Amino acid sequence: MSPMPALLATVALLSLSAAPAVAAAPVQSQGAPQNAVQSGGQSATRAPASAEVRAAYDRMDALARSVFWSGEHDLNPADPVAAIKLAQALRELGRYDQAAQTAEALLALQPANLDALLELGRAHIGRGQAFYGIAPLEKARDLAPRDWRPYSLLGVAYEQVRRFDDARAAWNQALVLSPDNPDVLTNAATAALTHGDAPGAEALLRRAAAQPTASSKVRQTLAMTLGLQGKMGEAEQILRRELPPELADQNLAWLAARNTPAAPQPEVASAPSPSDTARTWSSLKGG
């Protein structure tokens, strides 16, 4: 794998990992215990968790959230918050098919649910099948033409199916709606790398990293881009600020290996591996 495509397997797709802004659903009996007891002594059906409990689980890791939201979803499959949060957690665990199925089930009940459409698009992009995510994302765009998120995700989907002009147009519109949005800039930078434009990608990532709302993953992506261009000093400075020592060391070793010329090897024709073709951008060490 050449250095530039290799980066696609290491940087995080920010629009995929962003938490959906779902409106809170009404919660019944928020103050009731998890297992209420009827006067006859038999356990009643468990009430949905309180808003406080839901907020607490939102701060936990993807596995804990998937278990919790699965229980909430089983209680009420029509609860949009439970369905979308479950789909998000499943996607973060790499269970893309289940994430897509969860979003589709909600859309069967609520066809115009914007966050479910976005989550379905994310799941298809995540499993490397962005073609199937384009229709729900275009529907989301039409439902919310002033929301930058459908355009940003459409840029990723179009890029994955090689509709490069459409991808650039979608990202440009996302930046019109949300100027200097670090997530959009980072996704556009990743696409630039796929076309061998490392300097262009670096410029976009520096612009993204300068924004007050830029996440650590944006800065990590900048560091990896710098490192792949041989700018190891600056890359190391950023990585050591953003990651624990052992993870920074792993990333630096990865970069050093790719900057070391390999001995010539006889070419052997082989089919591309899924990691070369499916642009999921989900395995940055420490991400």
Q: Does residue 29 sit within a domain?
A: no
pLDDT beyond 50 at 283: no
Nearest to 49 by CA among 75, 67, 23: 75
pLDDT bucket at 260, cuts 50 / 70 / 90: confident
Domain count, the chain: 1
Q: Does residue 185 sit within a domain?
A: yes
pTM, full prediction: 0.72
Q: Does residue 242 sit within a domain?
A: yes
| pLDDT for the residue numbered 263 | 57
Cα 205 from Cα 221, distance rounded (Å): 8
| Residue where the block lists tokens 């670096």 | 202
Cα 256 from Cα 231, distance rounded (Å): 11
Q: Does residue 220 sit within a domain?
A: yes
* pLDDT tens-digit readout, 150-180: 999 999 999 999 999 999 999 999 999 999 9
Q: How far is CA 184 from CA 147, 180, 283, in A?
A: 12, 8, 19
* Angle formed by the axes of helices 80-92 and 114-126, nearest 10°: 20
Long-range contact set of residues 140-143: C-beta below 8 Å, sequence gap at least 24: 140/114, 143/112, 143/114, 143/117
Q: Does residue 223 sit within a domain?
A: yes
What's the token pair of residue 244? 């624990």
Q: Does residue 2 sit within a domain?
A: no
The CATH number of the domain holding residue 224 is 1.25.40
* pLDDT tens-digit readout, 115-150: 999 999 999 999 999 999 999 999 999 999 999 999
| pLDDT for the residue numbered 264 | 60
Q: Does residue 204 sit within a domain?
A: yes
Domain span at 224: 180-259
Q: Does residue 230 sit within a domain?
A: yes
Q: Which of 5-14, 39-48, 174-183, 270-279 has the highest mean pLDDT?
A: 174-183
| pLDDT for the residue numbered 95 | 96
pLDDT bucket at 193, cuts 50 / 70 / 90: confident
Cα 239 from Cα 185, distance rounded (Å): 20
- Around 1, how many Cα atoms within 13 Å sit in the side-chain half-sphere? 17
